[in-house]
Amino acid sequence: MHTPEPTAGSGRRLAHPEREEIRLETVLHALADPIRLRIAGELADGHTEMACIAFELPVSKSTCTHHFRVLREAGVIRQHYEGTARMSRLREDDLEALFPGLLSAVLEAYRRSHRPV
């Protein structure tokens, strides 16, 4: 096997769960971390699509990679490459279909808790 992978699309492969594979506990766990909740919050508020670097998170690059992977594997975000940048967006349609009102309630709660009143 000298031709390991066709390297389809933009070159790098990203594993996403299918809609039916998304589990409630996993989604809640993904959103229970402050860094990841903030990522979801920023994706929801204005920046529907963002590269990882644009978040300016208070953690190292590799920790950042880790958190985006947790969100992606939980089914909270969808990622694809654009050049060297990995763009992320919320899977609002899938989550809404599976767990109606859940994501929007979390995001609204996030706004209330983390923004000055």
Footprint of DNA on this chain (CB under 7 A)?
7, 10-12, 29, 33, 35, 51-53, 59-70, 81, 83-86
Please tell me the distance from the alpha carbon of residue 48 to that of residue 43, in angstroms, as a whole number.
Answer: 5
Note the helical H segments in the chain.
Answer: 24-31, 34-44, 61-74, 92-98, 102-114
Cβ proximity to DNA: between 12 and 19 the closer is 12
Give the torsion through C-alpha atoms of 42, 43, 49, 54, to 10 deg: 30
List the one residue from 45, 82, 93, 108 that touches a copy of itself (CB under 8 A).
Answer: 108
Least distance CB 106 / DNA (angstroms): 16
Cβ proximity to DNA: between 59 and 109 the closer is 59
Please tell me the distance from the alpha carbon of residue 86 to that of residue 77, in angstroms, as a whole number.
Answer: 12
Kindly state whether residue 104 participates in binding a copy of itself, applying the rule CB under 8 A.
yes
Least distance CB 100 / DNA (angstroms): 25
